[in-house]
Structure 1
Amino acid sequence: MTSAQEKPPRALLAGASRQWVRLLPWGVAFVLCVALLPTTIQVLTADYGLNGGIASALAVAQSAPLLLAVVRPLRAWCVIFVADVAGALALRTVDFEERLLWPFPPMEIVGYVGLCLALGLRARRRTLLLVWLATAGAGIGLGFVVPDGMSSNSTVLMMLSGVTLLLAGALRERHEAQRRLAEQETISEAERDRRTLLEERARIARELHDVVAHHMSIITVQADTAAYRLDRLPPDAQEEFTSIAATARESLGEMRRLLGVLRNEEAHGELAPQPGLTRIGQLVEATVRAGMPVEFTPCDAEVPETVGLSAYRIVQEALANVVRHAPGAPTRVSVSVPVSESVTEDGAWLTVLVVNGPPAEPPAAPLEVGGTGHGLVGMRERVRIIGGTLDVGPLPDGGFRVAARLPLTEEDFT
């Protein structure tokens, strides 16, 4: 990949959510550059007696790269490091008072520490160690040519740069760890939701398989016994029943093989009809025996087994949520086929409603809201598969409401 295809480097804190935080590195770099540039020229010429042209060149080389440090701090360090060492050697050519600091005047130390801060927030640990070793090596090397009667301040620069690099690097690594943790939590939550959805789909498939297999068994038995139950059955009709029975047995065998794939290790047992509307009453009675005040309005309407099964599972999960998150809360369960909807052009609909009030005692965990509970994921998947609608959410008084609308006609399933 060529350099033209490489992505441009990002500025420091470019990923921050607030604009003022993203602009902060540019602002600090601009202030340092504007403040240090004229100060360096003034100090080097007036105090140290360095030539104005040389002082100006050194000031630009030591201050201007601070703006580059926001985007490419390592390149900026290379320029400033060379300029600082060159400035120290240039000061050896002039006579200045012993009270003045050498080899690094104060404004150079300020600029270098700011550069180390930017470098520590961007570069890796190995790079930071090499930068500090280079700084220490330069300071030790310049210590051998210190002017007579003057002490070197290289140790100050080594200590300040080392502490700055260490703290900035620690902050960068901590931020990276938090970012990776947040990404992993997001991925884990997405995987949990996906796994829950797949598990619920497999469960729905197993239950629908049991329903279909039950009916196929009945078809097989009826077709096989037609010749014995019906008097004077024509040969053509008897042959047709025999063909139906054979086809049903073949389909039932395929269904059993499919069942072996869908069932997990714990899901043993005979093929049997799945629970429907008639079993919701037993479910409510079990919840009442567990100490939950539940009011139940049953429905005796004839509904498709897939709809009855979905209604039963929705009520089951809703009551389980009430027991877990709102213990002691008064609950109302209603299953009905509204008359106003049973005669509409869109077909008949079964309405399942589970509403609970606030808990008798505030639970340790808050009520689940829409989209956070894995049980709600299963409800939505069941309703979606049969073409219904689901409305869940908290109530103003602290309760919770689950309302499902399930189609009763096969046309509505499509």
Structure 2
Amino acid sequence: GLNGAVAAALAVPQAAPLLLAVVRPLRAWYVVFVADVAGGVALLGPDFAERLPWPFPAPVLVGYVVLCLALGLRESRRTLLLVWLATAGANVGLGFVAPHGFAAKELLFTILGGVALLLGGVLRERSEVQRRLAEQETISEAERSRRTLLEERARIARELHDVVAHHMSVITVQADTAEYRLRTLPPDVRAEFTSIASTARESLGEMRRLLGVLRSEETHGELVPQPGLTQIGQLVEATARAGGPVEFSPCEHEVPDAVGLSAYRIVQEALANVVRHAPGATTRVSLSVPEPEPEPDGGPGDEHLTVLVVNGPPPRPPGGPLETGGTGHGLVGMRERVRLVGGTLDAGPLPDGGFRVAARLPLAGKDFT
């Protein structure tokens, strides 16, 4: 056999670099490949080759295959191809110069190395594809959320246009008719009213142009009077006809148009969620304007409209899967509408399996001046 010192000198570079295979497989392969080729050259003697069942010792073969697998998991296709070509070339070269010629042993070594490289490469590319798909899904979900928010804001802007346009029209009419209704107005005050009317008309025109940008072709049918508190009863009746018992506590208090519209849309979405996700559940809808709490300094607090929609769990498990194809506009739209009027929203599941939506909408408008 080989001299002990030579065998030890070959064994160390063949085995030690395998410890680096996990973090630096290509560098480890350089060292192991050179050591394996050197070992193959040292074993070319005819008498030694006849007694040895492999062109290299079996542990060397196993270690090399494991190293090829690690390479496949970390390196590119081009690198793997070059590694396999180097392995095949070394085995073919050793087979040509060996006294016993090229044998099936060298071919098996080449095939095993190629299989390990191929397997590692397939696993690596599969993992890479899964990672890219996960990243794409994350990006798509973020983009869907952003698009949903923008669509909901545009929808709210279209609805509020009618509310604001009504107030602007009232300002225009009152300013235009002031000089006829109030005969004793000084000339400078009349000029002021004329300026107010002109500014209001310009603002109304700008709003209509803005609405033309926000309104798409699919939304032309939305040119209808905007609902308010008085129409919420119709929502409750429609839900009751769908098979769900609903208890309704209306509110007779006068509220601003924007607040009434926001309350209507919140109740509409909450009841739609009940029909979709808890069909037949008992539901309670409550609208109220409680007594304002005093401010810390002792002054009177601001009035607000409380919108409460609470449903219990469905009375029985549904016969089929619940509808899960919602657009995600529900809570997004609620939060945007509540934020618009300076209110707060609390929405979440209940311990008994039901769901609660509570909105607090101030009746005093924000001062944006």
Q: Same fold (TM over 0.5)?
A: yes
Note if contact 1:387-1:412 (Cα within 8 Å) is conserved in structure 2: no
Note if contact 1:387-1:413 (Cα within 8 Å) is conserved in structure 2: no
Note if contact 1:296-1:332 (Cα within 8 Å) is conserved in structure 2: yes
The amino acid that maps onto 2:82 is: L
The amino acid that maps onto 1:386 is: V
1:69 equivalenced with 2:24 (yes/no): no
Q: Residues 412 and 383 of structure 1: is their aligned pair in 2 closer, same or farther, counting only changes over 3 Å? A: farther
Hey, what does 2:344 align to over in structure 1?
389
Q: Residues 290 and 230 of structure 1: is their aligned pair in 2 closer, same or farther, counting only changes over 3 Å? A: farther
The amino acid that maps onto 1:216 is: M
The structure 2 residue matched to 1:191, chosen from 143, 155, 158, is 143
Q: Residues 365 and 353 of structure 1: is their aligned pair in 2 closer, same or farther, counting only changes over 3 Å? A: farther
- How far the C-alpha of 1:147 sits from its partner, in A, is 3.5
Note if contact 2:341-2:365 (Cα within 8 Å) is conserved in structure 1: no
- How far the C-alpha of 1:242 sits from its partner, in A, is 2.3
Secondary structure of 1:176's partner? helix
Note if contact 2:84-2:114 (Cα within 8 Å) is conserved in structure 1: yes
Q: TM-score, normalised by structure 1?
A: 0.80
Distance in 1 separating the partners of 2:136 and 2:102: 56
Deviations, residues 361-398 of structure 1 (Å, cap 9, x unaligned): 43455698xxx943112212222233222111112222
| More displaced stretch, 259-268 vs 55-64 | 259-268
The structure 1 residue matched to 2:81, chosen from 102, 120, 129, is 129
| More displaced stretch, 106-115 vs 245-254 | 245-254
In the TM superposition, 1:275-314 aligns within 5 A as: 275-314=227-266
Note if contact 1:214-1:273 (Cα within 8 Å) is conserved in structure 2: no
Distance in 2 separating the partners of 1:398 and 1:386: 30
- How far the C-alpha of 1:114 sits from its partner, in A, is 1.0
Distance in 1 separating the partners of 2:210 and 2:321: 40
Note if contact 2:274-2:281 (Cα within 8 Å) is conserved in structure 1: yes
Distance in 2 separating the partners of 1:145 and 1:313: 86
1:408 equivalenced with 2:363 (yes/no): yes
What's the Cα RMSD here? Answer: 2.7
Q: TM-score, normalised by structure 2?
A: 0.89
Secondary structure of 1:334's partner? strand
Note if contact 2:341-2:366 (Cα within 8 Å) is conserved in structure 1: no
1:173 equivalenced with 2:125 (yes/no): yes
1:205 equivalenced with 2:161 (yes/no): no
Note if contact 2:95-2:106 (Cα within 8 Å) is conserved in structure 1: yes
Hey, what does 1:378 align to over in structure 2?
333
Note if contact 2:247-2:283 (Cα within 8 Å) is conserved in structure 1: yes
Distance in 1 separating the partners of 2:96 and 2:262: 86
In the TM superposition, 1:96-111 aligns within 5 A as: 96=48, 98-111=50-63
Give the number of equivalent residue pairs.
362
Distance in 2 separating the partners of 1:270 and 1:351: 27
Give percent identity, aligned residues only: 76
Distance in 2 separating the partners of 1:294 and 1:119: 65
Q: Which runs of 5+ in 2 are unaligned?
A: none
Q: Which runs of 5+ in 1 are unaligned?
A: 1-48
| More displaced stretch, 49-58 vs 113-122 | 49-58
- How far the C-alpha of 1:235 sits from its partner, in A, is 4.1
Secondary structure of 2:285's partner? strand
Note if contact 2:17-2:31 (Cα within 8 Å) is conserved in structure 1: yes
Distance in 2 separating the partners of 1:385 and 1:60: 73
Note if contact 2:342-2:366 (Cα within 8 Å) is conserved in structure 1: no
Hey, what does 2:277 align to over in structure 1?
325
Note if contact 1:73-1:122 (Cα within 8 Å) is conserved in structure 2: yes
Hey, what does 1:37 align to over in structure 2?
none
Secondary structure of 2:74's partner? coil
